[in-house]
Amino acid sequence: MTYILVVEDNPMNMELVVDLLELYGYKVTGAQDGFKALELVKESEFDLILMDMQLPKMDGLELLLKLKSEPKTADIPVVALTANVMKGDEERFLDAGCAGYIPKPIDIHQFKAIVAGYL
């Protein structure tokens, strides 16, 4: 079984992503902010983290830095799942340590293959 953590503060986006991933057969856990995500990675092991970069309380880049600085979570691929689609955003997130970048709105026809490519 493959375990995926989705960090997303927008309830509609969270529902869409979780529903799609569960439809594909993944076990999915959701977190609405970075603090909850940090709690969850201490309690469980995840194979992939899909993370919005504009989060309340702690933004995605700060959360990414915390995840990459902890031995237990440093090797989990983190993919930016974000509406930040301005020129340079993808490179900024990849340079910060993201394994990949998925722009929102997501292309539901390609999403399954994109996620599988990071696992």
* CATH (domain of 54): 3.40.50.2300
Rounded distance, CA 110 to CA 40, Å? 28
CB 53 within 8 A of CB 62: no
Write down the pTM of the prediction: 0.94
Task: List the domain range (segments joined by +) for residue 89.
Answer: 3-118
> Could you tell me the pLDDT band of residue 87, with boundaries at 50, 70 and 90?
confident
Amino acid 61: pLDDT: 92
Distant-in-sequence, close-in-space partners of 73: CB < 8 Å, separation ≥ 6: 41, 67
pLDDT in tens, 57-80: 899 999 999 999 999 999 999 999
> Could you tell me the pLDDT band of residue 14, with boundaries at 50, 70 and 90?
very high
Domain count across the chain: 1
- pLDDT greater than 80 at residue 38: yes
